[in-house]
Each structure stands twice: as structure tokens, then as C-alpha cells.
Structure 1
Amino acid sequence: MKKFAKFALASTMMLAVLAGCSTQSSLESGSAKPSEQPAANSSENAANSASDKVTIGLSISTQNNPFFVTLKEGAEKAAKEAGAELIVVDAQDDTAKQISGVEDLIQKKVDVILINPTDSAAIATAVESANQANIPVITVDRAAEGGQVVSHIASDNVKGGQMAGEYILKALNGKGNIVELQGIAGTSAARDRGQGFHAAVDGKEGIKVVASQPADFDRAKGMNVMENILQGNPDIQAVFAHNDEMALGALQALEAAGKNIPVVGFDATDDAVKAVNDGKMAATVAQKPEAIGETSVQTALKVVKGEKVESFIPVDLELVTKQ
């Protein structure tokens, strides 16, 4: 009887050893279900933490414009605070280059892509490519006219254009000729700012928009276009530019022509705010690019976590005049 008990005990111990070997073999081969696997050690946890790091792609229209430099810096700040990686590609105001840059971000398998379009219509193909790769897209400052976008983050450009138009009406006491310098054709920002401006000034007795010409959001072009307009329309009383760079360029042309009239810009860049405080520019609509960049990254992180976000997230505007 004692011999039988010893034999039974030995058999039980042998089975336990074999079971343990079988379980270890199963784990090493990877056949065990995740829920059955033991907790990873500290080095494995560190590796998993690194692999879980969120990677965000930012395709920005240009870095030759202070507004977009500040927007990028806001995005970088938010990404750093969140411990996320931000990959920035600069389109240099070239639509083909931007589409190629978005394709590169797709190949890098980023978790989400932020796009600040150079052309709202043309960027649709890049958005669709990201859709096919199941990478969420968020548009920033300018909208896309195609593809599926999770959210659009920008100021209310229509409202901003209207604010500028109403300010000019007041400055002119309801009478005068106005020049409008438009942004890049095909961008939602140019379209919306122009729409808001014309909603404010069109049809007002005594007010006439004598010229509306594109200067592509560029300071040098703003100066050149303003010079050409002055040759054909020297009798003007105010200028509205769709961004500060064009406004500052127009200001150069007006100063050279000996004209001191109200110039209103859009973006509230450092140079423009200084010009306003110096009494050279009349006003600029503050769009807060740093806040747009920060909000874009914060929204991207929510999307990656599977949280619901609004289709349009506005960032506050304000009119900056001399203090």
C-alpha cells in the first residue's frame, strides 16, 4: 500500500512537470491566446510602450509664411507635451509636392494625417489615398473638397472676412473705393474670406470694390499687384487683403505712391501686429495659428483613441487694432 502511494505521488509530480513544459513550449511557440499569456517583464513593457507611441503626420502648405510657421510650432508643442511623434512635410505651396508628401506619410504608416491644403480641390486625391489606407485625415485652416475627413479645424474665415469688411465700412464712413487682394485661387481660406468681406460691403451705397485680384498670400506679389492696381485705379480709399503678407506688400506699394489709407489684413502675424501698433496698418483679423496647431494635434490624439470629435472645430477670431 505504501509502495502504491509513493508511485501515485511520483506519477502526479511527473504529470505536473510535463504540463509545465507543455505550457512553456506553447507560450514560446506563440500558440497561446493573449489572455492566457503571463504578464510581460519590465523590458517587454518598455518595448510595448515604445510601439504604442502615436505618430502624427502634418502636411503643411508652406513654411515661407509666418502664419504657418507658428501653426507648425503650435502642433509641435502639443505633440511634445503628449509624448507623440510629429512628422512634418512642407509642400512649399506646390500641390504636386504636397500630394507626394502625403503619400510618403501613408507609406510611413502614421496613425493620423493633418493636412493644410495648398489647393482644396486638388488635395482630394491625397485624402482619398489616406482613406484607402484606413488612416484618418484632419484638415487644418483650409478644407478639402473631396475624400473623407474626420474633422476640420480652422477659424471661421467667412466671419473674419465680414469683420474686416465691417471695419472698413466704419473707417470710410460708408463711402469710398476699396481694393481686395485675394489669396491663392482654389483655397477655402481665400474663398471664405472673400465671401464674408463681400457680404459686408456689397450693395452698400457709396461703397465700390474697384479691384479684386489674386496675390497668392505672398508679400512680394501683394506689392506688385497693388502697384499695378494703382496705375489703373489711383482713386482708392482702403485695401482688404486675405492675409497679412499681402497686406504688408500692399502697404509698401501705397507708401511708395505717397498714399496713407486704411489697410486691413488677416492672420495677426508679428509683422502685421507691429505695423498696426505703429499706425501703418489699420487692422488685422487675429486667427491664432498656434492654437490651431495645438488643437489639431489634440484632436488627432482623440481620434487615435477612438473618441468622437466634432466635424468642425472653430478657433476664436478677434480684430486687432492699434491699442
Structure 2
Amino acid sequence: MKKILLGILAVGTLALAGCNAATLDKGSEATDKVAEKKPEELVVGVSISTLNNPFFVSVKDGITTLADENSTKTIVSDAQNDSSKQSNDVDDLIQQNVDVLLINPVDSSAIQPAVEAANQANIPVIALDRSSDGGDVLTLVASDNVVGGEMAANYMVEQLGEKAKVVQLEGIPGASATRERGEGFENIAKDKLDVVDSQSADFDRAKGLTVMENILQSNADIKAVFAQNDEMALGALEALKAAGKSDVIVMGFDGNDDALKSVKAGELTGTIAQQPTEMGKLALQAAYDYFSGKDVEKAIDSPLELVLNK
């Protein structure tokens, strides 16, 4: 009799375990299903690395323009190129129960805990221009930075021939755009150009000027400068002007308004032009697609164009 009771208990336990397993499976399926929302029902949190850079102002404008057209509420924060501030900003947006986060990271590594916090709060994250080194990002909306770096180096080889002396101004250490644009440039430059110096100027115009001044003290015979963004390129251009060097090729990256005006005026040689306003719109559209139940690609390309003053 005792054996029979034990057998009944064992079967009952297995049945209960089976029921629990089925319940958990259903729960996970339900969690995976998106609660659909219309654009006018969404609250979108936006964290921009800095609004002191015209490129990212245009990214923000792309987001808010499309949001206004669809009656979507946006909450925009400016990290002021401070990764700690950005983490706090994202935490604040999470506390405000936004439906989705659009993040343009200051630093791809430093933003990881904030992305993971959003994941735990079941808030989807869309990255713009730069990705996160960890956490779950719904999609990255960006230009192909590696290809852009290669475009700049190839142009220099075409204009100057092989083994010309060139320098590179790098962006913020740790930013994915810094790594990728540098990777693309080096893909070509390591074999076909003579890169005599490569220093960080943090994507900043004033720092670009200062770093370029310092480089010229020991490398006055350079033939070209690749700056990983337009702000640094414009700063480098000022340093070269002050040194009386008007024949040095200066290539930027982004295609912001100041750079395009400089290219048109025949000063800046060129820029690898992104379309920041379109990038912002693509990011918000990805959010709309997600909340309408559509599949969203893990990477969304924003187009690039080589713009020259010739």
C-alpha cells in the first residue's frame, strides 16, 4: 500500500511539474509578444551624447520632427559628452516609464550598464551612430563607419600617391565610431600611406585645433589629415591656416552644416557625409515598426556620401 501511495505521489509530482513547465513556456511566449501601440500613444526617451555638436543636433531634430508629425511625446536629454551623466539621464528616463529608449552613446562601453538596466525594465533600446558593447540593443541605426574610413584613406591615396605622410585625429576613446572609423582608415593606410601620428581630440573642434598645433611642431611636412568627425577637421583646418599650410588635404566625417559650408567655400577638402536628420528619423521609425508588431533589422544603414570641394 505504501508503495502504491508513493507511486501516486510521484506521478502527481511529475504532472504538476509538467503543468508548471507549460505555464512557464506560455509566460515566456507572452513576454516575447510586443504590446502594440500607436505612435501617438508612445513616450520616447532620447539620450544624445552632446547637443554641442551640430551633427547630433540634426539627429535630434530628425527624431523630434517625425515625432511631431505623429503626435509622439519625446523626452530629450543632453549628456554633454559625459558618460556618467548619460548613465544618470538614462536611469531617469527609465524611472519615467518611457516606452522606448533612443540612445546615442558617449562611450560604447560605459553605456552598457544603462542598456542592461533598460533591458531589465523591458524597455527596448535603439542605438544611434554608436552602439553599446553589451546589453540587448533592438537595432543600431548608423552609417558604415568602417567603409567611411576606407573612403577617406582611398581618396588620399588617389590624390597623393602611396606612402604620403598623413595624420589622423581620433574621436572619443571607447566610442564605437572611433574604433570603426579608425579601423577603416587603417585598413587602407597601413599599406598605402605613412601615418606619422594618430591622436585623440575627442570629436571636439577646440581640441582638434590644439592637437593639430602640437602635431605640426614635429611633423610640419604632412600632406593630409583624416579627422574622424567634422568638428575636429574644422579645428585642424584653423591650425593649418595659422601655420600657413594651405596645401594640406583635410578630410572630415559626418557632413554637418559647418563642414559642408567650408567644403563649398573651398577650405575643407571634403567630408564623408552622413545624413544625421535621416538617421534620427530612421531610429524613431524603427520604434514605430517595433510597436506595430513588425520585424526590425538588427542593423539599419544610414547612407554615406563623399562630398568634395572640387
- Deviation per CA, 1:237-283: give whole Å up to 9, x if none: 10000000000000000000011211000011111111111111111
2:211 matched to which residue of 1?
Answer: 225
Confirm or deny: 8 A CA contact 1:111 1:304 kept in the other structure: no
Instruction: Give the gaps of 5 or more residues in structure 2.
Output: 1-36
Q: Is 2:289 the counterpart of 1:302?
A: yes
Q: How does 1:202-241 map to 2 (within 5 A)?
A: 202-204=190-192, 207-241=193-227
Question: Which shows bigger deviation, 55-64 or 170-179?
Answer: 170-179
- The one of 121, 131, 134 aligned to 2:109: 121
- What are the within-5 Å matches in structure 2 for residues 94-173 of structure 1? 94-173=82-161
* SS state at 2:272 partner: strand
Match of 1:284 among 271, 283, 290: 271
Does the alignment pair 1:320 with 2:307?
Answer: yes
Cα distance in 2, alignment partners of residues 51 and 227 from structure 1: 49
Q: CA deviation at 1:306?
A: 2.6
Mapped pair 1:195 → 2:167 = no
Matched, 1:259 2:245: yes
Q: How many angstroms apart in 1 are the aligned matches of 2:106 and 2:115?
A: 13
Residue 50 to residue 248, structure 1, CA distance change in 2 (3 Å): closer
TM-score of the aligned structures, taking structure 1 as reference length: 0.82
How far apart, CA to CA, are the structure 1 residues paired with 2:292 and 2:136?
Answer: 19
Q: Deviating runs (4+, > 4 A) in structure 1?
A: 49-52
Are 1:120 and 1:142, in contact at CA under 8 Å, matched by a contact in 2? Answer: yes
Contact 1:160–1:317 (Cα < 8 Å) also in 2: yes
- Map of 1:16 onto structure 2: none
- RMSD (Å), alpha carbons: 1.4
CA distance in 2 between counterparts of 1:270 and 1:52 reads: 31
CA distance, structure 2, for counterparts of residue 52 and residue 283 of structure 1: 40
State the distance in 2 between where 1:198 and 1:247 align: 18
Give the 3-state SS of the residue equivalent to 1:203 in structure 2: helix
Any stretches of 5+ residues in structure 1 without a counterpart? 1-48
Does the C-alpha gap of structure 1 residues 311 and 50 become closer, same or farther in structure 2, counting only changes over 3 Å?
Answer: closer
User: What is the Cα deviation at residue 52 of structure 1?
Assistant: 6.5
Report deviation, 1:201: 1.5
The separation in 2 between residues aligned to 1:50 and 1:287, in whole angstroms, is: 29
> Tell me, what secondary structure is at the counterpart of 1:226?
helix
Task: Decide whether the 8 Å contact of 2:39 with 2:70 is kept in 1.
Answer: no
Report the counterpart of residue 257 of structure 2 in structure 1. 270
Q: Deviations over 1:58-113 (max 9, x none)?
A: 10000000000011000001111122111101100011100000011111111100
Q: Distance in 2 between matches of 1:80 and 1:298?
A: 13
Distance (whole Å) between structure 2 residues aligned to residue 173 and residue 179 of structure 1: 15
Alignment of 1:67 onto 2:55: yes
Matching of residue 184 in structure 1 with residue 172 in structure 2: yes
More deviation, 134-143/171-180: 171-180
How far residue 203 of structure 1 moved from its aligned partner, in angstroms, is: 1.3
Task: Pick the structure with greater CA Rg.
Answer: 1
Shift of 1:236: 0.4
The sequence identity of aligned pairs, in percent, is: 54
Are the equivalent residues in 1 in contact too, given 2:127–2:137 (CA < 8 A)? yes
